């Protein structure tokens, strides 16, 4: 049993997304895949951090505080124990 | 927000489990679910594998059922994930996934085709069985090579210094493989060394034959019928010079050596054609810095011709290396860790390993694009 068309398709098929990765590595990173990965990982991490900070804006420092529910829980357990 | 590409992600909602020995019953049990998943959508199907292997024909049948075209000719993508043992036919199935993932606890085992007999074998029967097994090994090896090649390209370009040497010329292959060997346990590193020894003898005989044939006029236009006897003469000439100090005769072991060299060159030539599509996509990764600058300065229509003259020879030797490697994988027992399977091109990704994967690179680009699109 052999699906020849599947074998042939698998041999010839080239993923366009990977082809794009190749073009970027060759055009922007002189063929250095590690430089591409490291720099993109870094940029994404920076974007993520910047996004995190802007999502909360001025409230960001306040988020370090325990929630109101937690404070009430703690007060009530101290009060009734 | 990180962007996920579903073509490179396992998806439990659309998954199947291949566990235990692969028998006809396994296929019967999985078929209804495969049909159900395919009817629901054309999205990728994830196949989780924990199997000691079994029937290659049944494993192939399962893959074909998942990948069969629908009435509009569309095929589902197959994501394979090794979650435990993936041995023999199950290891082949793992590697043949459009995207193959190994979890860190996975155990991947390769060996050649086997056949169990209950009846007594005659000489004729044994000869036919041997030929059959050899043919199966060869077919499985070439199929594995086709799916591993793209992965191996991504592996070798990570080997920084060695890839620079290889970009200078195909002779750099030995150093490239040596750098790759460092990623393996000593037991499995032997596999790569055996391949490189074969590649070296091919290179020697090929160079000698090329030099011999260069002396003939218009050899490129010769019909194959005329070229083959001349190639044999070239090999005899090379072997005679190589053994000029020995008591070497064609009538002793010489003829066998000549035949083996001839088959090696013939195999190389027949294996290394039809690499055009891969050359177009990956060829530019094998250019030196100077070549790369020249390549970029050329118009897009001239890129193909440029890659044919500056990268095709490197891609060809690398392809033949992969074919030889996959053939050897089908001959003895090789137990691979997930990381070794990654470096051999059997899988695309090892979860949690930090090893660079196609998925990560593609999702990185998608994430970057989505971030720049934001107002």
Q: What is the ipTM of this complex?
A: 0.77
Chain B: residue nearest A30 by CA? Answer: B289
- Same domain? For B324 and B343 the reply is no
State which residues form the domain around A48: 14-80
Q: What is the pLDDT of residue B375?
A: 59
How many cross-chain Cβ pairs, A to B, lie less than 8 Å apart?
92
B98 and B190 share one domain: no
Mean pLDDT of B159-167: 94
Bridge partner list, B47: B16, B80
Contact A18 B60 (CB under 8 A): no
pLDDT for B40 equals: 94
Q: Is A50 on the interface with B (CB under 8 A)?
A: no
Instruction: Kindly state the average pLDDT of the residues B279-308.
Output: 93
Q: How many CB atoms lie within 10 A of CB B346?
A: 28
Q: Are B117 and B138 in contact (CB under 8 A)?
A: no
Its domain, for residue B215, covers 163-332
- pLDDT band for B90, please (50, 70, 90 cuts): very high
B278 in reach of chain A (CB within 8 A): yes
Average pLDDT of the segment spanning A20-47? 89
The CA distance from B311 to B168, in Å, is 10
Q: Residue B337: which CATH number?
A: 3.90.226.10
Identify the pLDDT of residue B303: 93
pTM: 0.82
**Could you give phi then psi for residue A47, rounded to 5 degrees?**
-60, -45
Residue B151: closest C-alpha in chain A: A18
| Residue A9 is assigned to a structural domain of this protein | no
Same domain assignment for residues B30 and B175 = no
Q: With an 8 Å Cβ cutoff, is A9 touching chain B? A: yes
Q: Please report where in the chains the tokens 């897009």 appear, as a residue.
A: B300
CB-based contact, A11 to chain B, within 8 Å = yes
CB contact under 8 A, B277 and A14: yes
Q: Do B285 and A7 touch (CB under 8 A)?
A: no
**B63, B169: one domain:** no
Would you state the pLDDT for residue B266? 86
- β-partners of residue A12 are none
């Amino acid at each position: 049993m052999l699906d020849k068309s599947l074998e042939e398709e698998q041999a010839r098929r080239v993923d366009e997304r990977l082809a794009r990765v190749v073009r970027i590595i060759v055009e922007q990173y002189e063929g250095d895949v590690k430089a591409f990965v490291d720099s993109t990982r870094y940029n994404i991490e920076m974007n993520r951090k910047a996004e995190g900070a802007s999502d909360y804006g001025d409230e960001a420092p306040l988020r370090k505080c325990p929630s109101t529910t937690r404070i009430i829980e703690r007060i009530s357990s101290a009060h009734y124990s | 927000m990180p962007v996920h590409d579903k073509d490179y992600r396992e998806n439990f909602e659309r998954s199947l489990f291949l566990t235990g020995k692969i028998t006809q019953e396994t296929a019967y049990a999985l078929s209804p679910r495969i049909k159900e998943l395919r009817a629901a959508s054309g999205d990728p199907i994830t196949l989780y594998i924990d199997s000691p292997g079994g029937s290659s024909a049944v494993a192939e049948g399962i893959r074909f059922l998942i990948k069969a075209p629908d009435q509009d000719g569309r095929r589902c993508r197959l994501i394979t994930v090794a979650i435990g043992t993936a041995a023999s036919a199950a290891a082949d199935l793992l590697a043949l996934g459009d995207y193959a993932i190994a979890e860190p606890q996975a155990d991947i085992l390769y060996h050649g085709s086997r056949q169990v007999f209950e009846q007594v074998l005659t000489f004729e029967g044994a000869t036919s069985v041997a030929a059959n097994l050899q043919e199966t090994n060869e077919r499985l090896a070439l199929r594995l090579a086709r799916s591993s090649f793209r992965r191996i390209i991504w592996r070798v370009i990570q080997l920084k210094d060695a890839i620079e040497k290889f970009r200078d010329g195909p002779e750099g292959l030995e150093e490239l493989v040596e750098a790759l060997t460092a990623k393996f346990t000593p037991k499995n590193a032997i596999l790569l060394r055996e391949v490189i020894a074969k590649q070296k003898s091919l290179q020697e005989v090929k160079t000698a034959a090329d030099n011999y044939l260069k002396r003939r006029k218009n050899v490129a236009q010769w019909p194959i019928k005329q070229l083959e006897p001349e190639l044999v003469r070239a090999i005899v000439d090379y072997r005679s010079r190589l053994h000029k100090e020995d008591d070497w005769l064609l009538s002793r072991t010489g003829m066998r050596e000549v035949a083996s060299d001839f088959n090696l060159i013939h195999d190389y030539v027949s294996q290394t054609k039809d690499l055009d599509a891969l050359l177009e996509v990956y060829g530019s990764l094998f250019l030196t810095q100077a070549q790369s600058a020249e390549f970029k300065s050329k118009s897009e229509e001239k890129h193909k011709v440029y890659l044919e003259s500056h990268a095709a020879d490197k891609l060809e030797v690398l392809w033949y290396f992969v074919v030889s490697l996959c053939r050897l994988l089908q001959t003895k027992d090789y137990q691979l860790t997930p990381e070794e399977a990654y470096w051999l091109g059997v899988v695309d990704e090892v979860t949690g390993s930090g090893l660079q994967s196609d998925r990560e690179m593609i999702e990185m680009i998608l994430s970057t694009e989505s971030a720049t699109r934001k107002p």
